[in-house]
Structure 1
Amino acid sequence: MRTTSIACALAALGSANALRLEKRDNPAVVAFPFEKVDKITSISPSSDSKRETGPIEELTTKDLQHLVYMVQLDIGTPPQSISAIFDTGSPSLVIHTTNDTSCVPPAPNPCSLYGGYDANASSTYHYEDSKFVIEYADGERTLGDDATDNVTIGSATLSNLYIGLQYQTEVINNVLGASFTEDEMANSNTGHSNLPQLLRDQGHIASRAYSVYADGDKSDHGTVLFGGVDIDKFHGDLVKIDLVSNPATQPARVTNFAISLLSVSQFDGNSTNTFDKSFPTRVIFDSGTSLTYLDPDQAQSIWTYVGATAHFGNVDFATIPCSAADTDRTIDFEFAGVTIKVPLSKYVVWHDAHNEICVFGIAKGQPQGPFTIGDTTLSSIYVVYDLDNKQLHLAQALNNAPTSNILQIMAGPDGVSAVGGLGTLELLAATKASTLSTSTLSRTPALSVPTGA
């Protein structure tokens, strides 16, 4: 297998660490697309594990876009196709069964919308026990079975992936978790494997690390690269940030993709206004949460400055004139070593029947947290989630980047070192010969999700 050295690019970038990204003819990378799909959501901040469901009062959702990342996967033998939210905030694959109480006719129901799994129809299904349970902050519970089966996603087929099978639940979506394993999050000893772990253990990737690119405002798709980084999808340096511990655990330890948010500011094209409220703040990068939930004081300061007002049905939620999307203003998030600029238009979502009042994509979290960087903000960030080294790597995402240049993430402490994206001429020169078109990546067919799902 031929490997192309990019040491010259490192020298140009001045990196102090040995670069562990490599360009290979046949990289150990599993690429699969996700689709940004319309979804009805509640106005309650999500916990670390619960996804948002339910309608928003007095606001239509017919034209809601780009707030949920849905992936397609096949489960069992013969394969059964389902769609699931790709979720960096939870550990496991959790799916509806065809016997789920929420899947009884008539349609639409979770199984008719997203697919349900029939365990008895799969020859590779293995039952473990009936101890599967998720308890949510609002008191609801999901009950079911712990099981394993073969799962195919992208080019990879995994044997014996752990699955939480839902038999009694009111939660609408299937969820494909890609955070730390259940045992790492809960300090338990279940032995339950998850997607990143099995991709590494079964030889599909070299390290438990993956990147997520949301592909800009005009695209309905994005891409997840397990084991890889696409340097044509961002500009500037890819900055490494260590994860911070969860203060709710005893002793405190890393349980999710949380880092410190140092400041938030607003740029109107001429001047910058910094919202000096309660920083630094621990925030979780969670692709399974549509909106961004900040400390209430921080959110209120942002609302006031951009002209958003509390929604009459829930004061933790705000509305804003839809015309606010037609400005060049940005909301800027400062992390250690990198500032991400998010166009204000990314936060102007869901419009009313007259296209006058929209929902504002930054909401108030509970005072005690957790606070969440959700899809309204993540769409502007190229993120590498590094489980093995307990780090995030961030850069400013390029909108609608037309080319792809994928490097493999190698195992080890510097698997994803400081590397420049598109615009770093030295790095592009070192890897120019292996640039490929994004059209070579497979795309999922469009999902039809009826309003009111």
Structure 2
Amino acid sequence: MKLLLLLSLVALAQCLVSRIPLRRGKSLRQSLQEHGLLQRYLKQHPDNVAAKYFPTRFSVEPLQNYLDNEYFGTISIGTPAQKFTVIFDTGSSNLWVPSVYCSSLACSNHKRFNPARSSTFVSTNESVSIAYGTGSMTGILGYDTVTVADIKVLNQIFGLAETEPGDFFYYSPFDGILGLAFPSIASSGATPVFDNMMTEGLVAKDLFSVYLSKDGQSGSFVLFGAIDNSYTTKGISWIPLSAETYWQISMDSVSIGGDSVACSFGCQAIVDTGTSLLAVPNRALSSILSALGANSNGEINCQAVDTLPSVVFHINGKAFPVPPSAYVIESDGYCILGFQGMNVPTESGELWILGDVFIREYYVIFDRANNKVGLSRLP
């Protein structure tokens, strides 16, 4: 059945070449994609009309959804390839993985890079140290071939972890982290992977886009070099960056039920795929919990969830709602709000982190060419 479908789609492509009018319907790309045949078609017809209609310098990195808490994909480093699972993190800029030099407990149950087994590895005497909101690492820097979503980046600088203190990374289902933020915040001045992709002309456009699935479902991805229009049917709202560090933007306010509850005079926010929840200033957290009828720990009666209002983020003059189905986390009969408190003041105001709870509601485009973020509401 798939063969017959593929033949019919090839005929459709030939119609496009000869400019024969077609009945209105789905595009060739949509039909191929829906039936899981797009990649196969492109491989089997490298010199076909497909090359004219599909960008050749974009690639999809599938992400595994781990309990709606973390999203990670597989990359390879070295020659021959050594595979690792990594978080694709828009809240940091460095690539690092555990190494054979690591003696921390966290490295004992994860894959470790062995430079001696790679013919393309180049060592350095430089060190690297990175601290995250949870977890940290120290190590050395090296260069090697890194393959991400079929895109091969030569001489990519990355960290070889020698220590990973504490137990956070020990219990993490991923090996390392691949940062997708700006070079300005990269530890030890390391050039981020996506910057090398842009410099070497490995992507059709200097942007990448992210879709994060809900309820543990499959289908999450990072798309390098392109925007998938099937996820932008409700239009794209473009938001200029307020700083080229993290993917940082200015927010106007946050409201619940039409009333402003926080960020009333403006504040800063970063769109961060590496943060699971919505991280908000402690003062704002109290207001949000009170407005939603939760206790100080964020716990709420599960029976009241259906009556809760959306939390609305007002950004660049537009409203971006997050419904209770997104911000209420239910586990073992208990319900808790997906907000966490923090205090990170900036020169432009309090900082918020729009993590996965927010991102799951939107298809997010990270545009380096124009230094802006695009948000498209998902169905």
1:112 aligns to what? 109
Task: Tell me the alpha carbon deviations over residues 5-38 of structure 1, each in whole angstroms, 9 at most, x when there is no partner.
Answer: xxxxxxxxxxxxxxxxxx833342121111111x
The answer as to 2:61 corresponding to 1:36 is no
Q: Is the CA contact 2:253–2:262 (under 8 Å) kept in the aligned structure 1?
A: yes
CA distance in 2, matches of 1:287, 1:120: 33
**Superposed counterparts of 1:216-295, under 5 Å:** 216-217=214-215, 219-245=217-243, 254-267=244-257, 272-295=258-281
Quick one: structure 1 residues 73 and 327, their matched pair in 2 at CA, closer, same or farther if it must change by over 3 Å?
farther
Distance apart, 1:137 and its partner CA: 7.5
Q: Is the CA contact 2:146–2:156 (under 8 Å) kept in the aligned structure 1?
A: yes
1:308 aligns to what? 294
CA distance in 1, matches of 2:290, 2:157: 45
CA distance in 2, matches of 1:235, 1:263: 26
Select which of 135, 144, 158 maps to 2:139: 144
Select which of 363, 371, 386 maps to 2:367: 386
The answer as to 2:314 corresponding to 1:346 is no
Cα RMSD, aligned residues only: 2.6
Select which of 113, 128, 134 maps to 1:132: 128
Quick one: structure 1 residues 387 and 372, their matched pair in 2 at CA, closer, same or farther if it must change by over 3 Å?
same
Q: Is the CA contact 1:144–1:166 (under 8 Å) kept in the aligned structure 2?
A: yes
Distance apart, 1:130 and its partner CA: 3.8
1:97 aligns to what? 99
2:376 aligns to what? 395
The answer as to 2:117 corresponding to 1:121 is yes
CA distance in 1, matches of 2:136, 2:360: 31
Task: Tell me the alpha carbon deviations over residues 111-150 of structure 1, each in whole angstroms, 9 at most, x when there is no partner.
Answer: 534x221122111111112421225679x86321111111
Look up the SS of the partner of 1:101 in the other structure.
coil
Distance apart, 1:154 and its partner CA: 1.4
Unaligned 5+ runs, structure 1:
4-22, 38-64, 104-108, 246-253, 312-317, 399-453
The answer as to 2:356 corresponding to 1:366 is no
Task: Tell me the alpha carbon deviations over residues 48-82 of structure 1, each in whole angstroms, 9 at most, x when there is no partner.
Answer: xxxxxxxxxxxxxxxxx212111111111111111
Quick one: structure 1 residues 185 and 389, their matched pair in 2 at CA, closer, same or farther if it must change by over 3 Å?
farther
**Code of the aligned partner of 1:177:** G
2:334 aligns to what? 357
The sequence identity of aligned pairs, in percent, is 27
CA distance in 2, matches of 1:281, 1:110: 38
Distance apart, 1:372 and its partner CA: 0.7
2:181 aligns to what? 179
Q: Is the CA contact 2:151–2:202 (under 8 Å) kept in the aligned structure 1?
A: yes
**Code of the aligned partner of 1:362:** F
Select which of 82, 86, 103 maps to 2:84: 82
The answer as to 2:166 corresponding to 1:166 is no
Distance apart, 1:159 and its partner CA: 0.9
What is the TM-score of this pair, normalised by structure 1? 0.65
Q: Is the CA contact 1:212–1:224 (under 8 Å) kept in the aligned structure 2?
A: yes
Distance apart, 1:281 and its partner CA: 1.1
**Superposed counterparts of 1:437-448, under 5 Å:** none
Larger Rg: 2
Q: Which has the higher contact order (CA 8 A, sep 6+)?
A: 1
More helix by share: 2
What is the TM-score of this pair, normalised by structure 2? 0.76
Distance apart, 1:384 and its partner CA: 0.8
1:415 aligns to what? none
